[in-house]
Amino acid sequence: MRIRDLTGRAGPATSLLIKGPAGSVAKKAAALLLVSVGLAGCITVNAPEEPIVIELNVNIRQEVIYRLAQDAGDTIEDNADIF
């Protein structure tokens, strides 16, 4: 019984909007929705606690390194006196 009571009271937030009983109730609901969306947005844009680490040569992409790997390995083997 209690469960049904609670369900009955909580329901209108959506059903009122769907039925659209023109006027202040729908506007209030819409405003509430906007406020909660706004609040949710605020929470997600919190600054990270960890400091942002900028990686060395971050502009060099992994696929470039993979493409050059074989050639670089051969170069090192062929010039072992300076490696």
Partner 1 sequence: MTKNLTRVVLAATAFATVAGGLAAPAYAQRDPAYASARSAGLVGEKMDGYLGIVVASTPELQRIVNDINIKRRALYSERARATNATIEEYALTAGCQAILKTEPGEKYQAPDGSWQTRTSAPPQRDSRCP
Binding site for partner 1 (CB under 8 A): 56-57, 60-62, 64-69, 71-73, 75-76, 79-83
Q: Which is nearer to partner 1, 7 or 79 (CB)?
A: 79
User: Concatenated DSSP letters for 13-51?
Assistant: HHHHHHH---SHHHHHHHHHHHHHHHHHHHHHTPPPSSP
> 37 vs 64, which CB is nearer to partner 1?
64
Is the CB of 5 or the CB of 71 nearer to partner 1? 71
User: CB 16: neighbour CB atoms within 10 A?
Assistant: 14
